[in-house]
């Protein structure tokens, strides 16, 4: 097993600042990457979670039929409410 990654987060609460440090092992990161991959997601170097470009779950990769259907449902619901 490799090293560890330290993530720090500043949280303000009633004019006082405190810092939280979380240690994450590389094994935990591998597990997280496997879980994210199952949903078509990935964590990039900046720490944010993005859609994988080849993910079938990403709305940009949906078929034209799926996009049209979803848009029609939204429009019909807007007229109904």
Q: Is 31 helix (H, G, I), strand (E, B) or coil?
A: helix
pLDDT tens column, 13-69? 554 556 665 566 666 667 888 888 888 898 888 889 988 888 888 888 999 999 999
Nearest alpha carbon to residue 8 among 25, 17, 23, 20: 20
For residue 5, is it within any domain? yes
Structural domain boundaries, residue 14: 1-38
For residue 62, is it within any domain? no
For residue 11, is it within any domain? yes
**Of 16 and 76, more confident:** 76
For residue 25, is it within any domain? yes
For residue 51, is it within any domain? no
Predicted TM-score of the model (pTM): 0.48
For residue 60, is it within any domain? no
For residue 50, is it within any domain? no
């Amino acid at each position: 097993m490799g090293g560890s990654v330290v993530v720090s987060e500043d949280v303000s609460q009633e004019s006082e600042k405190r810092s939280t440090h979380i240690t994450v092992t590389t094994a935990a990161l591998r597990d997280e990457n496997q879980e994210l991959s199952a949903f078509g997601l990935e964590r990039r170097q900046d720490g944010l979670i993005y859609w994988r470009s080849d993910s079938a779950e990403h709305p940009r990769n949906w078929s034209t039929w799926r996009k049209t259907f979803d848009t029609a449902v939204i429009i019909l619901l807007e007229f109904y409410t």
